[in-house]
Structure 1
């Protein structure tokens, strides 16, 4: 589990960056400007990053489930959110109270941190 957590860290940083880039699109005058999704190249890059993150989750999940079967399903839920984005409902990137990419990832991260007995800020 500790080895998976170590490998999870860099992927987690990329997920945080992708989530931020989905929500914000800095300009020269507004570094915290909201992403109004009017730049298809920007959004396509973020979605490509999320797709790669999903592929990495597909590799991480079996390593987790080999130790604890309760980690089963995170990849399917993440992939399901990506499918909904592909189908045109972009709210599934960061939607709350639903199995969005961000929500599923946050739950996985919390589960992993709790399993290892780590403090949230330390991971």
Structure 2
């Protein structure tokens, strides 16, 4: 259910006034005490999910494919030139298109997993749908949608999904 923008703005202004949300330029973030309260709320509201073996197994599979995406993003952001690893300046369209093709194959592999998460937690459809949209825009030549932090890129959405899965499952990031 979509909310009216003016209603959302009113709630955010109230949260700012009560110091539950902080404004940094045009961005909003939870205040430290609100973050702590949210964390406690996740443990209460997600107890059933955390006890669900299907959810736990899906999170474990996510962690495995997450390593594959990290490697793919490293290849997107860097190039090997004469034995040296350099930043990818994205002037080699063939190289970039090859990475985008790999991203498409990666997405094909994880679609069923994303669907599993949506079946367990319907609001995660936002990430599933956003990842597909970012992939499609990347395939259409908008390369910012591979990993740019200034838009809802594949990498940005994947990172946010990972953070949400960590909160839902009550687990820590594997480095």
Bucket of the pairwise TM-score, normalised by the shorter protein: 0.7 to 0.9
Match of 1:42 in 2: 95
Corresponding pairs, count: 121
- Matched-pair contact (CA < 8 Å) for 2:144–2:151: no
CA distance in 1, matches of 2:61, 2:83: 36
CA RMSD of aligned residues (A): 1.7
Q: Which one has the largest radius of gyration?
A: 2
- Identify unmatched segments of 5+ residues in structure 1: none
Runs of 4+ residues deviating >3 angstroms: 38-41
**Paired residues for 1:100-115 under 5 Å:** 100-115=153-168
TM-score, normalisation: structure 1: 0.86
Structure 2: gaps (5+ residues): 1-54
More strand by share: 2
Alignment-derived partner of residue 116 in structure 1:
169
* 1:67-108 deviations in Å (ceiling 9; x for gaps): 211211322211111121122111111111421010110011
Shift of 1:13: 0.9
SS of the aligned residue for 2:149 comes to: coil
What residue in structure 2 maps to residue 84 of structure 1?
137
Larger relative contact order (Cα-Cα within 8 Å, sequence gap ≥ 6): 1
CA distance in 2, matches of 1:112, 1:10: 14
- The TM-score, its normalising length taken from structure 2, stands at 0.63
Describe the SS at the equivalent of 1:26: strand
